[in-house]
Amino acid sequence: MRPVITVKDLTKKYGSLRAVDGVSFAVYENEIFGIVGPNGAGKTTTVECLEGLRVPSSGSIRVLGLEPKADGYKLRQLIGIQLQEGKFPDRIKVKEALELFASFYSRSVPAGHLLEKVGLLDKADDYFDNLSGGQKQRLSIALALVNDPQVVFFDELTTGLDPQARRAMWGMVRSTREAGKTVILVTHFMEEAERLCDRVAIVDQGKIVALDTPANLIRSIDGGLRINFSVNDSGIAAQLESIEGCRLTASNRDITIQCADYRVVGEVIRILGENDCDFHDFTVSKPALEDVFLSITGKEIRE
């Protein structure tokens, strides 16, 4: 696979603040590359440097072989952009917005085709103002795809949307990739990154703290599985603790066990059964990307 984006030592300073601090990565053709991290981590600044909307303080960037600062207009013919919280004038009609943006590019996809793809065909004559939050984002996606771009940037595409609309957006991101495009997805929503991205860069305080596939990142952290349950008699904890490869924490009657593999789960249930111990609310969960962030940075990622 050839890289469509390469970034080396990208730094963006605002005064003494290093919003982006020595970031390097490559994005390969036709992957969905996630940039995740808390608000203010430098995600948007990073992609805006790639899009040529911001000028880096130092470092080098190549997108589709072009340098965003020097070849901005050429590059923007080839990429699609959806901005975080980006909106359009209240009184512009859906099809007018599409026609307007289509006029900017040397090649463009027919408006009807795009509207059908994002499910807005029956809204073509509606004002932007009258669209729902999800429909507004669909229009942003359509506008990002109007020039049939090779690389598409989605920045906080689903923030503020209800779960149903969010799922619809995920479908559109996947179909964008299936259409052969490379997707850069910026999000602070870990579940989204985990479900959609082929590879994820976790960003914190302007630096990439981890970069791999979601599965590898999750595997990389200790205590792969987490078992939670409640007991009436917490005396059982001492016996459970003797299971090999298990880390137990008990608070009152709630017991949490972290372990590497599923054999421990069987072992726990056997001990509980042998001791005739009453237990309830028994759950086994795999860690998520969210736990990876917590384990690497020691911080919770929250809106």
Residue 107 engages other proteins in binding (rule: CB under 8 A): no
Question: What is the DSSP track for 136-187?
Answer: HHHHHHHHHTTT--SEEEEESTTTT--HHHHHHHHHHHHHHHHTT-EEEEEE
Q: Is 198 helix (H, G, I), strand (E, B) or coil?
A: coil
Among 87, 167, 219, 263, binds other proteins (CB under 8 A): 87
d(CA 77, CA 117): 21
Q: Is 293 helix (H, G, I), strand (E, B) or coil?
A: helix
Residue 103 engages other proteins in binding (rule: CB under 8 A): yes
Strands 207-212 and 279-285: unpaired
Residue 251 engages other proteins in binding (rule: CB under 8 A): no
| Least distance in angstroms from the C-beta of 100 to other proteins | 5
d(CA 267, CA 147): 58
Among 88, 154, 279, 293, binds other proteins (CB under 8 A): 88
CB nearer to other proteins: pick between 89 and 273: 89
Residue 207: C-alpha distances to residues 32, 37, 97, 183, 291 (Å): 20, 10, 36, 21, 18
Q: What angle do CA 145, 150, 155 make, to 5 degrees?
A: 60
Residue 70 engages other proteins in binding (rule: CB under 8 A): no
Among 16, 85, 122, 303, binds other proteins (CB under 8 A): 85
d(CA 303, CA 290): 12
Among 3, 22, 86, 224, binds other proteins (CB under 8 A): 86
| Least distance in angstroms from the C-beta of 285 to other proteins | 38
Residue 91 engages other proteins in binding (rule: CB under 8 A): yes
Residue 105 engages other proteins in binding (rule: CB under 8 A): yes
Residue 189 engages other proteins in binding (rule: CB under 8 A): no
Residue 171 engages other proteins in binding (rule: CB under 8 A): no
Q: Which residues make up the interface to other proteins (CB under 8 A)?
A: 51-53, 73-74, 76-77, 81, 83, 85-89, 91-92, 96, 99-101, 103-106, 143
